[in-house]
Chain A
Amino acid sequence: MFSRYFRTDLKRSMRANWIAIAVLFLSFLGPVVSSVLRSSVESFLVSNQRRILTADLAITAYRPIREDEVDRVREVLGIKREVREVEFVTMALGGASQGSLIEVHAVEPSFPIDGEFTFADGSKKAGGPTGENLWVTSDAALALDLKSGGRLKLGRVDFLIEKVITQAPGISRGAFGMAPRVYIPIEQASRTGLTGFGSQIYHRVYLETEKLATSEVIKETLGDPDLFLRTPDDSVQGIERFTGFVSLYLAVVSVSLFALGWAAAFYIIRTQAIERMRATAIAIVFGGSRSSMLGFEFARTLALTAIAAVLAMLAAWGAAEFLEPVIGQALAKQVPGKFEIVLSIKDFLGLFVTSLVSAVLFTAPFAQRLRSSQPRELFDDSALAPPQESRSGVRSMLALSAVGFLTLAALASWITRDVKRGFQLAAGFGAAAGVIHFAGIGLFRALSTVFRATGSSAFLRLVGLQLSRARFAVRLSFLAIGLSTFVASSVGQIMISLGDELGAGGKLDSAPDFFLFNIPESEVENLQATVAKYGVSLDFLSPMILARLQAKNGETMESEQFRKFPVRITWREKTIGSEKIVKGKPLHEKYDPAVDGDLPLISVESRFLERNKLGIGDRLLFDVQGVPVEGKIGNVRSVRWTDFNPNFFISFQGGVLEDAPKTWLANIKSKSREDRIPLQAEIVRNYPDLSLIDVSQGLEKIVALMRSILGPAELAAWLASAFSVFVLVTIVVHSTRLRAHEMNLFRILGAEPRRVRLLYRAEFALASGFGSLLGSVGGLGLAWFISIQFLDLEFRADPVRLLLTILAGLALGTSLGEWLYRRTARGLGIERRVV
């Protein structure tokens, strides 16, 4: 019935509406793109999970898997096909004496059960190599400078390189995908001599079963904790963990953008609502009812949010076209199958629900004002009628904040597909916003008090007063700048620490060139002689003993981890450079019962101690190759794992483990870059049983990996900053009318335009300056926390960057204040008359 009025009203407020739509569109875009990507990757993994595992079930052990164990599975599930594999890592020396750590997959000819090899010549084959042939993946061929028809020696066997693989079945599991893969026939594994004692060998059986079952069911059937089981479902979980991290990161960025955009849209629509109250009162006087006005406002807001949602979906659809080949290419290296972007109806529904909830929230301020609005105020003389409504501003804000938080949490849960994580994320974001906001308000009030108390000039007192009564626009500007500098500063400072640590002059220069492990005891002396020819020595030569932690203070260790995995232990007469005793005293070099008591003393790494709830004085019982060895925790060490030294969780005093079967670990730092390649070649050629990691190459990979993760993070941080500038601009555009009244008053009361302009500049500059100061310092704190806690980096703050971020915030605020003054003054005609 009122459609014509509503249509006209919509048409006439189109400019403001489009700004609100633009802000909402940008804030919706992040969540919908994140969610679509997440859905697509999930769908891709689910549809490819059997192909990723290459079978219905994979059983893995550190020992050969017995036939009777396979038979037990046969009884329960029925077995159609069975393929065996042995997997290990080793050093290989390729053409031009290029060495690289590689992942060797020794497989039966019928490998894989599901999937196939694709070769460089375009051919495909469902079956493994035979004879003394070796297939090499293209990245291994590149790393070792190998060609089809060439030869590659692994241990004692010289293989013919038959084919170069462009896509291997399944996914890389060993060496965290850092080492490229080669495939050899399974019967050749033991002939290489690389699968002897001390080497980490995975024995695996792939099964095609008649029935499918979960890992838990099969685990009960097998009953042996030494056997690791993997179903197609399990096989994607590892990848999902990684995609989970990626989607968490995307969620952080998109929730930040969403919240900023949402706050701006809320501000714009709230400002419109305030301005519309008079129009609404007029409409009520001339026949409109309150309910129809509220309905219209809701419909209008819903239209804005829905249009923004539809535009975001269309943009996501467009982005999908662009992202599909990019992500497909990235995934193709790791996972078989074709990646396709899935535009799920659920993602769009999620967005529509968000737009609906947003509309309800955005209409709330209007509804609140409408409830208390009195059309009688249109009469000029309404001073006698005081407002009748109770002051429910705080309650309303709390209610709105609660609904806002729930929406943000629901959105984050939707993106991460994890309710707990979603709530944590929303709580973290809310806490950061709350801290910045309230710290700012406190700061403004304190500033106002200082200006007043110190008898500052009238101008400063006025600035202080304006700030202490900071309006929504100023608070939002403060918050937007604070949050964006928080994100930008934290990511930037981490990048700097990372660059210092791993870049030129950092770890890359100080780190050893090679890390050697699996050095057989019999070859230690020869190896020392070999490296001595190059003028270097085996640094930090340390014994490594595989043991099982069985009991603590006489009680069996409950953790499955200790039953399944051996612990690598050592003995050390004194600490090395990367270690520091943080609790307890240094241990005596050799165990002496008269001095040390009835048990030898152990030094435990601090995080291992915390994780396993251990403490000084605890007795730990180890099974060292069948021999029980007990020790007492004598001290706690912190270890800098990123120093690439032979580091251990558990270190005994000397004189206890010397007779245990062991291998050795060591570092080599070559004298010059020219020595590196011949030294590496000689070690690999003469000591085929030991493994060598090219640390500098590995570091470069780590740096590249970190940069590939942090690069987009920094980009996203700058995107968030750019978006916050957009938010600020829209805020200023919408503040103009509200400021006009204030500016009129200043003028009437005799303020010179110059002073008013300075006041606006100062108000915004101080708000933005404090915002960027708090955001930057908070970001610095976060960077410190992440660097120390997660990245194990030595944190180095960059004061120049910090200062620049604060100055940028200050400059932005000053410009905004100036712009707001000019816009408002121009609207009032002051600019023309005065300037």
Chain B
Amino acid sequence: MSDPVLVCAKVKKSYVIPGESGAAGRLEVLKGIDFEVRAGETLAIMGRSGGGKSTLLSCISGLDVIDSGEIRLMGQNLSALDANSLNAFRASRIGIVFQQFQLLDHFTALENVRLPLDLAGVSPEKADQVALEKLERVGLAGRESHFPDRMSRGECQRVAIARVLAMGVPVIYADEPTGSLDVKTGKVVMDLLFTSAKESGAALVLVTHDPLLAKRCDRILRIEDGLLKEGPLELTSELGV
């Protein structure tokens, strides 16, 4: 069995509620999360809306600071990194696919895919080459000069996947990647995401409401009352999600 690429140990996270004081003034969202993800593994995280799924994603991608516990990515404790090192570390280890794609509207498809490479200082030629390859990989060859507002939502999500692939990262997080797509397009996009992750050997952490999508993953975890529980799909179905 391969070594874990992501380890979360006793992770706690709470938010201050403005205008409230004392115990009522803090909202505990994550109350001690423990889980591991291994290289190449696919993991689905399910839970109710407002249950803390996105908070967990924010924390494990280093976009939010945890109150206590430890998050290790590729052996590196994220809390030990300063803001700039964390940016650089994230750019080289983590790729994120958002529900709303989060493409830059004034950038073309190619420029969007190339964005992390440009930010990492990769040479323009190399960046273009990689970006074109990845666009081709997601089936968007010939669309590189198109802007997001001229593309369908499925195509936008494919550009977002190509952007993650271009990064060549060992861990991919996907936040409701089919949430904005119709069933048919969603299936195409997810096929692409699973295949791509498998090809690149990256671990895939998928946050979803969709039981069918979760079922395609190696493991399913559900977030309940701020804690993560491992359980069969049927239990998550009982939750009504």
User: A4-B127, A379-B98 given as contacts; is B116 within 8 A of A287 (CB)?
Assistant: yes
Inter-subunit contact A287/B88 (CB<8 Å):
yes
The CA of A173 and the CA of B186, in the complex, are separated in Å by: 90
Contact with B along A270-286 (1 / 0, CB 8 A): 00000000110111111
Q: Is B90 an interface residue (CB 8 A)?
A: yes
Q: Is B81 an interface residue (CB 8 A)?
A: no
The stretch of A288-296, A418-426, A634-642 that contacts the partner chain = A288-296
The CA of A374 and the CA of B63, in the complex, are separated in Å by: 8
Query: Which residues of B come within 8 Å of A, CB atoms?
Result: 15-18, 27, 29, 49-50, 52-55, 57-58, 61, 63-64, 83-84, 87-88, 90-92, 96, 98-100, 102-107, 111, 114-116, 118-121, 124, 127, 163, 167, 175-176, 179
CB-CB under 8 A from A12, the residues of chain B are 106-107, 111
* Distance (whole angstroms) from the CB of A449 to the closest CB of chain B: 27
Minimal Cβ-Cβ distance residue in A for B115: A286
Q: Is A2 an interface residue (CB 8 A)?
A: yes
* Distance (whole angstroms) from the CB of A287 to the closest CB of chain B: 3
Residues 289-314 of A contacting B (Cβ, < 8 Å): 289-291
* Distance (whole angstroms) from the CB of A516 to the closest CB of chain B: 78
Minimal Cβ-Cβ distance residue in A for B49: A381
CB-CB under 8 A from A4, the residues of chain B are 114, 118, 124, 127
CB-CB under 8 A from A286, the residues of chain B are 91, 115-116, 119, 163, 167
Inter-subunit contact A5/B119 (CB<8 Å):
yes
The winner among A278, A281, A289, A290 for most chain B CB atoms within 10 A is: A289
* Distance (whole angstroms) from the CB of A285 to the closest CB of chain B: 6
Inter-subunit contact B83/A9 (CB<8 Å):
no
Inter-subunit contact B55/A2 (CB<8 Å):
no
Main secondary structure, interface of B, reads mixed
* Distance (whole angstroms) from the CB of A829 to the closest CB of chain B: 12
CB-CB under 8 A from A282, the residues of chain B are 102-104, 115
* Distance (whole angstroms) from the CB of B2 to the closest CB of chain A: 26
The CA of A278 and the CA of B107, in the complex, are separated in Å by: 13
Inter-subunit contact A5/B118 (CB<8 Å):
yes
Q: Is A393 an interface residue (CB 8 A)?
A: no
- Nearest 6 pairs of A and B residues by beta carbon: A287-B91, A376-B58, A12-B106, A379-B54, A287-B119, A381-B54
User: A286-B163, A384-B50 given as contacts; is B63 within 8 A of A375 (CB)?
Assistant: yes
CB-CB under 8 A from B99, the residues of chain A are 379-380
Q: Is A394 an interface residue (CB 8 A)?
A: no
* Distance (whole angstroms) from the CB of B174 to the closest CB of chain A: 11
Minimal Cβ-Cβ distance residue in B for A383: B50
The CA of A721 and the CA of B124, in the complex, are separated in Å by: 48
The winner among B57, B92, B104, B163 for most chain A CB atoms within 10 A is: B104
Minimal Cβ-Cβ distance residue in A for B53: A381
- Count residues of A near B (Cβ-Cβ below 8 Å): 35
Minimal Cβ-Cβ distance residue in B for A8: B111
Inter-subunit contact B64/A376 (CB<8 Å):
yes
Inter-subunit contact A278/B102 (CB<8 Å):
yes
Query: Which residues of A come within 8 Å of B, CB atoms?
Result: 1-2, 4-5, 8-9, 12-13, 278-279, 281-291, 374-376, 378-388
* Distance (whole angstroms) from the CB of B110 to the closest CB of chain A: 10
Inter-subunit contact B104/A380 (CB<8 Å):
no
Inter-subunit contact B124/A9 (CB<8 Å):
no
Select one of B50, B64, B92, B111 contacting A381, CB under 8 A: B50
Minimal Cβ-Cβ distance residue in A for B95: A286
Select one of A5, A289, A376, A380 contacting B63, CB under 8 A: A376
Inter-subunit contact A380/B175 (CB<8 Å):
yes
CB-CB under 8 A from B163, the residues of chain A are 286
The winner among B18, B50, B119 for most chain A CB atoms within 10 A is: B119
User: A5-B115, A381-B50 given as contacts; is B15 within 8 A of A287 (CB)?
Assistant: no
Inter-subunit contact A384/B52 (CB<8 Å):
yes
Minimal Cβ-Cβ distance residue in A for B17: A386
The CA of A383 and the CA of B213, in the complex, are separated in Å by: 24
The CA of A536 and the CA of B83, in the complex, are separated in Å by: 96
The CA of A614 and the CA of B187, in the complex, are separated in Å by: 96
Select one of A13, A283, A290, A378 contacting B115, CB under 8 A: A283
Inter-subunit contact A380/B100 (CB<8 Å):
yes
5 further A-B contacts with Cβ under 8 Å, apart from A5-B115, A380-B100, A382-B54, are A5-B119, A8-B107, A376-B63, A382-B55, A384-B27
User: A8-B111, A284-B87, A286-B163 given as contacts; is B17 within 8 A of A379 (CB)?
Assistant: no
The CA of A290 and the CA of B102, in the complex, are separated in Å by: 18
The CA of A105 and the CA of B84, in the complex, are separated in Å by: 81
Minimal Cβ-Cβ distance residue in A for B100: A380
Inter-subunit contact A287/B87 (CB<8 Å):
yes
Inter-subunit contact B57/A379 (CB<8 Å):
yes
* Distance (whole angstroms) from the CB of A459 to the closest CB of chain B: 33
CB-CB under 8 A from B17, the residues of chain A are 386
Inter-subunit contact A385/B15 (CB<8 Å):
yes
* Distance (whole angstroms) from the CB of B13 to the closest CB of chain A: 9
The CA of A286 and the CA of B163, in the complex, are separated in Å by: 9
The CA of A283 and the CA of B116, in the complex, are separated in Å by: 8
* Distance (whole angstroms) from the CB of B124 to the closest CB of chain A: 6
CB-CB under 8 A from B116, the residues of chain A are 286-287
CB-CB under 8 A from A376, the residues of chain B are 54-55, 58, 63-64
The winner among B52, B54, B121 for most chain A CB atoms within 10 A is: B54
* Distance (whole angstroms) from the CB of A284 to the closest CB of chain B: 7
Inter-subunit contact A289/B83 (CB<8 Å):
yes
Inter-subunit contact A279/B104 (CB<8 Å):
yes
Inter-subunit contact B84/A289 (CB<8 Å):
yes
Inter-subunit contact B118/A2 (CB<8 Å):
yes
CB-CB under 8 A from B57, the residues of chain A are 379
* Distance (whole angstroms) from the CB of A251 to the closest CB of chain B: 40
Inter-subunit contact B102/A378 (CB<8 Å):
yes
The CA of A513 and the CA of B179, in the complex, are separated in Å by: 91
Select one of B18, B104, B118 contacting A386, CB under 8 A: B18
Inter-subunit contact B91/A380 (CB<8 Å):
no
* Distance (whole angstroms) from the CB of A652 to the closest CB of chain B: 79
* Distance (whole angstroms) from the CB of B3 to the closest CB of chain A: 25
Minimal Cβ-Cβ distance residue in A for B123: A4
CB-CB under 8 A from A383, the residues of chain B are 50
CB-CB under 8 A from A1, the residues of chain B are 119, 121
Select one of B54, B84, B118, B120 contacting A8, CB under 8 A: B118
CB-CB under 8 A from A287, the residues of chain B are 87-88, 90-92, 116, 119-120
* Distance (whole angstroms) from the CB of A272 to the closest CB of chain B: 11
Q: List 17 A-B contacts (CB under 8 A).
A: A1-B121, A9-B107, A12-B107, A285-B63, A285-B96, A286-B167, A287-B88, A376-B58, A376-B63, A379-B58, A379-B98, A380-B175, A384-B29, A384-B52, A384-B54, A386-B17, A387-B18
Minimal Cβ-Cβ distance residue in A for B166: A286
The CA of A13 and the CA of B83, in the complex, are separated in Å by: 28
Inter-subunit contact A388/B16 (CB<8 Å):
yes
The CA of A478 and the CA of B111, in the complex, are separated in Å by: 40
Inter-subunit contact B83/A290 (CB<8 Å):
yes
The CA of A383 and the CA of B50, in the complex, are separated in Å by: 7
Inter-subunit contact A289/B87 (CB<8 Å):
yes
* Distance (whole angstroms) from the CB of B63 to the closest CB of chain A: 5
The winner among A378, A382, A384, A387 for most chain B CB atoms within 10 A is: A384
CB-CB under 8 A from B119, the residues of chain A are 1-2, 5, 283, 286-288
CB-CB under 8 A from B54, the residues of chain A are 376, 379-382, 384
* Distance (whole angstroms) from the CB of A38 to the closest CB of chain B: 42
Minimal Cβ-Cβ distance residue in A for B52: A384
CB-CB under 8 A from A290, the residues of chain B are 83
Minimal Cβ-Cβ distance residue in B for A13: B106
The CA of A278 and the CA of B103, in the complex, are separated in Å by: 9
Minimal Cβ-Cβ distance residue in B for A291: B84
* Distance (whole angstroms) from the CB of A4 to the closest CB of chain B: 4
* Distance (whole angstroms) from the CB of B229 to the closest CB of chain A: 19
The CA of A386 and the CA of B25, in the complex, are separated in Å by: 12
Minimal Cβ-Cβ distance residue in B for A5: B118
The CA of A386 and the CA of B14, in the complex, are separated in Å by: 11
Inter-subunit contact A378/B98 (CB<8 Å):
yes
Inter-subunit contact B55/A384 (CB<8 Å):
yes
Inter-subunit contact A288/B87 (CB<8 Å):
yes
* Distance (whole angstroms) from the CB of A268 to the closest CB of chain B: 16
